[in-house]
Structure 1
C-alpha cells in the first residue's frame, strides 16, 4: 500500500511500538509478507496475531478480541506489568483497510485510521464508510491513502 513503508519507518524512528493484528491466517500472512520481511516487518516490536490464533476462540474481526490480545501481548513484551504503565487501547492507532477491521477497531476502543482498499470501496459508498468511522478526531478518520496520514497530528 502506498505510504506504508514511510509510515512504519517514521513510527519506528519515533519509538512508537507497532504490532500486527490481521484477519489472515498465519499461512496467508506469511504468503503476503515474506518478500517484505527484512525491509519492513522485522521493524515491528513483536509477533503477529493472526485470525486463526487459538487464543481468539474463533472470535475474529469484526469482534474486538484480536486488538485486545495484540495489545496484551505488546504490553507483556515491553515489560509493562502494572496498570499505570500499560499501553491502553484508547492510546492506540489502529490502521485498517477493511469494513470488518474498522468495525473491530472501533469496538475495541482504539482510534481507527481507515484506508480502505478498492475492493472495500466497491462494497460501500463513501457515506457508508464515514458513518462507520464516525467524526474525525472522535474515534477515527478516513483517508484515501496512507500517504495522507500525518503522524505528527496523532503523536
Structure 2
C-alpha cells in the first residue's frame, strides 16, 4: 500500500493537470499569442508570421506552433507547423515563428485558422500543450493581431 501511495504522489509531481498544463493558480507555463499575419508571398506559397510571449514563470524550450486551416464550411483542410526563434524562451521574453504554406488546397480554400502550441520544460523532460485563438482570412490576406513595427 505504501508503494501505491508513493507511485501516485510521484506521478502527480511530474505531471500537471490535463495535457500537462499547470492549474490556473500556478502560471508556471503560459504561452500567449501576441500577433500573427497571413501573407500570400507569391503564386506558389503563403506564410503565417507571428509572435508569442512566455507569460509564465519558467523557461520553455522546443516550442512548436501548429496552424490548423479550415474552409468556409469549417472543415479541416490541412495543418502546417514551425518552431520558434529563439529555441529557448525565458519568462517574459518573446519569440517569433513563420509557418510556410505550400499546399495549394490550403492556399486556395482557407477561410480561417487556429493555432496550437506545444513545448518542453527547460530540462526537456515534460511536454505541454495549449490551444491559441482562431483567426479569419480577410480580404487583405491578414488575420488577427495588430500591425506593428515588426510587420505583424
TM-score, normalised by the number of residues in structure 1: 0.24
Determine which structure has the larger strand proportion and give its number: 2
Indicate the structure whose relative CO is greater, using CA pairs within 8 Å and at least 6 residues apart.
2
| Bigger CA radius of gyration | 2
TM-score, normalised by the number of residues in structure 2: 0.24
Determine which structure has the larger helix proportion and give its number: 1
